[in-house]
């Protein structure tokens, strides 16, 4: 028997401030499906959804761990072999990190949450870019801290504006978020900009939160960890098996706290807080050494596929009247711009596109751009033939939308 609740339980105000548009927009897709529309989900960066397969040796490592009885809690910071594999992998990338400074996390996401939780108090400020990966702003809202937005320039392939960042630093600034290679833009930062970011963080004693999940997915060769340019700079890096190792659902990630003694207290606080959630998913941790020390040949084909899809995406989007798109240099995201008519928003465009064509993208304001600027993010993991039909549909819809 269903009884109508006489009243609802109140929800904490902070939950209203938490916004993650990449999944939030799915509610609109469900409505479109209920009306009979087939939806193509181009909102979330999950290569497995598009047929890219998790390498078999990772699956075997997890299966073996489960069969061998490694199903209990692990140490909160992770099993030693996984922490050692992460440290050894950093070493091959030019950064010496002790395994003791590595913590295994439920994806990079949990590492980001842990790091922000120990670094910022209510009212503190964290520098994040526009556009930003929305988890940062979501977690900051949850903590009652303030995201302070720095500019990136689409005309220069979405490079960060270093002068603007410096102008925003205040006594309350606690951290600077750098996602390189970048989601949502697909940008890879120049060496000059990386050095400038490190120099700023070092000089102002601000922690650099370096999101490195796409470093193996840059089309012109892998990107070095930010800390490798200056091991003394206060850098906390995050990564996972989600993207470059094609296992996003496993929630197998890690964080590494660099920067020496300056970040010792932060490391201790992160470990204390990690104790409270007991451990990240145990059997999946055994895939980390298998991934980092083992065969990575799947990345050759994955990168070839990404380059091809990025090419189709850039060519087709830039050929549409009223649309422009900076060429992605990594990963599987592009951030095109539509010249919106006055009074219309990016959300109007994206929801209109969904209703008219079944294509689900994410409006740019979900990543912090202004609604009137007309940005949206597209995930281009679908095969090139399917992408061609996607861009045909975007072209037709955009012409109608702009003519209205």
- Which positions touch ligand PLP (CB under 6 A)? 45, 107-109, 133, 135, 179, 183, 211, 213, 240, 242, 248, 253
Burial profile 96-109: b = 16 or more Cβ within 10 angstroms, e = fewer: ebebebbbbbbbbb
CB atoms within 10 A of CB 170: 12
Return all residues near 45 (Cβ < 8 A) that are at least 6 apart.
183, 243, 248, 331, 332, 333, 379, 381
Return all residues near 400 (Cβ < 8 A) that are at least 6 apart.
356
CB of 295 to ligand PLP, least distance (A): 21
CB of 5 to ligand PLP, least distance (A): 34
CB of 362 to ligand PLP, least distance (A): 11
Q: Cβ-count burial of 137 within 10 angstroms (0-12 exposed, 13-18 middle, 19+ buried)? A: buried
CB atoms within 10 A of CB 13: 8
**Measured at CB, which residue is nearest to ligand PLP?**
107
Nearer to ligand PLP, 243 or 316 (CB): 243
CB of 70 to ligand PLP, least distance (A): 21
Q: Cβ-count burial of 395 within 10 angstroms (0-12 exposed, 13-18 middle, 19+ buried)? A: middle
CA nearest to 237, candidates 219, 223, 217:
223
What is the DSSP pairing of strand 146-153 with strand 323-324?
A: unpaired
Nearer to ligand PLP, 129 or 398 (CB): 129
Nearer to ligand PLP, 332 or 391 (CB): 332
CB of 275 to ligand PLP, least distance (A): 20
Nearer to ligand PLP, 242 or 313 (CB): 242
CB of 290 to ligand PLP, least distance (A): 17
Nearer to ligand PLP, 86 or 320 (CB): 86
Residues counted in the chain: 404
Chain centroid offset of residue 395 CA: 28
Residues 135 and 20: beta-carbon distance below 8 Å: yes
Nearer to ligand PLP, 271 or 377 (CB): 377
- The label of the residue with tokens 């990240």 reads 280
Q: Could you give the CA distance from residue 333 to residue 330 in angstroms, rounded to a whole number?
A: 8
CA nearest to 328, candidates 179, 184, 135:
184
CB of 116 to ligand PLP, least distance (A): 12
CB of 237 to ligand PLP, least distance (A): 11
CB of 242 to ligand PLP, least distance (A): 3
Nearer to ligand PLP, 305 or 340 (CB): 305
Please give the structure tokens belonging to residue 153.
């320039």
Nearer to ligand PLP, 214 or 349 (CB): 214
Nearer to ligand PLP, 215 or 240 (CB): 240
């Amino acid at each position: 028997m269903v009884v109508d609740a006489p009243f609802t339980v109140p929800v904490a105000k902070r939950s209203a401030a938490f916004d993650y548009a990449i999944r939030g927009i799915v509610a609109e897709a469900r409505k479109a499906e209920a009306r009979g529309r087939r939806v193509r989900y181009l909102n979330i960066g999950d290569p497995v959804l598009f047929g890219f397969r998790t390498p078999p040796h990772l699956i075997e490592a997890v299966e073996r761990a489960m069969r061998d009885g490694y199903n209990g809690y692990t140490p909160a910071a992770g099993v030693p072999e996984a922490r050692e594999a992460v440290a050894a992998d950093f070493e091959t990338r030019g950064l010496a990190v002790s395994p003791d400074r590595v913590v295994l996390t439920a994806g990079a996401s949990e590492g980001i949450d842990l790091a922000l939780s120990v670094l910022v108090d209510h009212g503190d400020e964290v520098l994040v870019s526009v556009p930003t990966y929305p988890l940062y702003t979501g977690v900051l809202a949850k903590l009652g801290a303030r995201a302070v937005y720095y500019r990136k320039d689409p005309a220069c392939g979405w490079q960060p504006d270093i002068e603007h960042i410096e102008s925003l630093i205040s006594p309350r600034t606690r951290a600077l978020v750098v996602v390189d290679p970048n989601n949502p833009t697909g940008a890879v930062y120049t060496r000059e900009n990386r050095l400038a970011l490190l120099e700023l963080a070092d000089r102002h004693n601000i922690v650099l939160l370096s999101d490195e999940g796409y470093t193996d997915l840059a089309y012109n060769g892998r990107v070095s960890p930010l800390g490798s340019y200056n091991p003394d700079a206060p850098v906390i890096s995050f990564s996972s098996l989600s993207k470059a190792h094609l296992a996003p659902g496993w929630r197998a990630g890690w964080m590494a706290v660099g920067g020496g003694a300056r970040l010792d207290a932060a490391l201790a606080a992160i470990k204390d807080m990690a104790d409270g959630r007991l451990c990240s998913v145990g059997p999946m941790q055994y895939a980390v050494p298998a991934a980092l020390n083992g065969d990575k040949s799947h990345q050759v084909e994955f990168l070839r596929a990404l380059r091809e899809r990025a090419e189709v995406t850039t060519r087709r989007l830039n050929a549409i009247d009223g649309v422009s798109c900076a060429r992605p240099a990594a990963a599987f995201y592009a951030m095109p711009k539509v010249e919106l008519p006055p009074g219309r928003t990016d959300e109007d465009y994206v929801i209109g596109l969904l209703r008219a064509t079944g294509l689900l993208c994410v409006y740019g304001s979900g990543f912090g751009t202004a609604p009137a600027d007309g940005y949206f993010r597209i995930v281009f993991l679908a095969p090139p033939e399917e992408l061609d039909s996607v861009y045909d549909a975007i072209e037709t819809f955009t012409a109608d939308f702009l003519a209205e």
